[in-house]
Structure 1
């Protein structure tokens, strides 16, 4: 009986040790399933996504899925919204892959800004759009449009107890010229 318990305990111990030493289960990553090629889209989808037709088959599935979501909402949009959406698609299609990546990064950065900085950027964007087309073109060529739209950096906080040392004054003699 003792041998049986010892044998059973040994087997249980080996099983437990084996489970501890076994490799942890690998994480399963569920990606976006393959999306349809251009030829497989419905006529309504093709109409809504027409500016993207040339690039469609080379797009990643996750991108296609996002555009298909837009195409689904497209019929419910007002005519001016549809026109604006198509123009934005044309602009997007004209961008190089590098430019698209930069736009995506900028969008992510914008979404991580605090609300007050987002509002500042939106106000600057409105002001930029209100400029005459020639002025906007001049700013783009000079690279200034990016500077105009860059969110303001927060002012550095200065410890008041260190302020005299920073401006070159001695706390003992205000207005003294540093040596």
Structure 2
């Protein structure tokens, strides 16, 4: 794999970085969709906990979503009131997990499941629409229509600004 990736859209450079940075710290929704499978939660910044302006620190935000308020790292420069997309990677949405410190649980119903050896991949109906999640392959797959709980660790999330069209 390359040491540096350049992600372009419509002839414009969106982000330049290592594969790890592109995957874990995308600058926008397009880049977040470029590698891997992502779910997106709409949210709004309630407060800026750390602007990330000093020492190349990560920005931290308190974000309100349909699933509740959460502390989420994200792109620097966003402000209170800004609309954001919270990136939830499919591998970070664990079907059958338990809520705990920093972990948010959501109720879902299974649309489909596919056993893939070490992992079971799920399409889930949630209060905000369909999301993609997974569970360890050692767990028997839940069938279509089953009610399940899925959890994500807020520390694994990342938020990006909602694109402003026509600006």
TM tier relative to shorter chain: under 0.3
Normalized against structure 1, the TM-score is what? Answer: 0.21
Structure having the higher strand fraction is 2
Normalized against structure 2, the TM-score is what? Answer: 0.22
